[in-house]
Amino acid sequence: MTTRTVLESAEISRALTRISHEIIEANKGAEGLVLLGIPTRGVVLAQRIAALISRIEGIDVPVGQIDITMYRDDLAHHPTRAPQPTEIPESGIDGATVILVDDVLYSGRTVRAALDALNDYGRPRAVRLAALIDRGHRELPIRADYIGKNLPSSKEERIKVRLVEHDGEDSVSIA
């Protein structure tokens, strides 16, 4: 199996910086934002984006994580991992603009599960989606508002996002 790197550390950093600026611009600042990462790597990306937004705007952006394990519609077909804790910031999500953050957007089923899970925790003013990689092949009418890189791929190819916090390096590869 041939693997090629499509994003290296500096490119991931630039993509996250661009996404952060796009979020600020669309929201007209950082007020009222809450970032929720989808475990595992989406949480790390949400933390990085929040840090960038805070550095740019000078205010702290609440960050949490939302576990979607038990909201998936494919539990009968795929082995599931152990549920992760859902951590909603103390400020909650009611009336906030929630940015869901994930590493790879593929079929849209993970995002649909995240939207279902979000309903159990409050009523945001708006929900937006940020993804480091959009690889296409959507099965549901879902699209990202903020994308680091569009990476057209075949269904047989695997996209691997590696982040320092979990994997010891930042890279995106395709195999």
In a domain, 166, yes or no: no
Please write down the HEC assignment for all residues of 46-83.
Answer: HHHHHHHHHHHHCCCCCEEECCCHHHCCCCCCCCCCCC
Res 77 pLDDT > 80: no
In a domain, 175, yes or no: no
104 vs 97: CA distance, rounded Å? 21
Whether this model's pTM surpasses 0.75: yes
Percent residues over pLDDT 90 in the chain: 89
In a domain, 4, yes or no: no
Domain that holds residue 115: 10-74+82-154
In a domain, 113, yes or no: yes
- pLDDT at residue 73 in the model: 76
In a domain, 159, yes or no: no
Q: Cis omega (within 30 of 0) on the bond before 3?
A: no
Write the CA distances from 31 to 58, 72, 97, 131, 167, integer angstroms: 11, 31, 9, 21, 32
Rg (CA), the chain: 16
pLDDT band at 80 (very low <50, low <70, confident <90, very high): low
In a domain, 174, yes or no: no
Res 167 pLDDT > 80: yes
Write the CA distances from 59 to 29, 42, 53, 77, 157, integer angstroms: 10, 21, 8, 43, 40
* 61-74 per-position pLDDT tens digit: 999 999 998 888 77
- pLDDT at residue 82 in the model: 74
Number of compact structural domains in the chain: 1
pLDDT band at 78 (very low <50, low <70, confident <90, very high): low
In a domain, 173, yes or no: no
* 22-57 per-position pLDDT tens digit: 999 999 999 999 999 999 999 999 999 999 999 999
Rounded average pLDDT over 92-109: 97
- pLDDT at residue 59 in the model: 96
Residue whose pair of structure tokens reads 């590869």 in the numeric block = 173
In a domain, 55, yes or no: yes
Which domain CATH number covers 104? 3.40.50.2020
Summary mean pLDDT of the chain: 94
- pLDDT at residue 99 in the model: 98
Phi and psi, residue 49, nearest 5°:
-65, -45
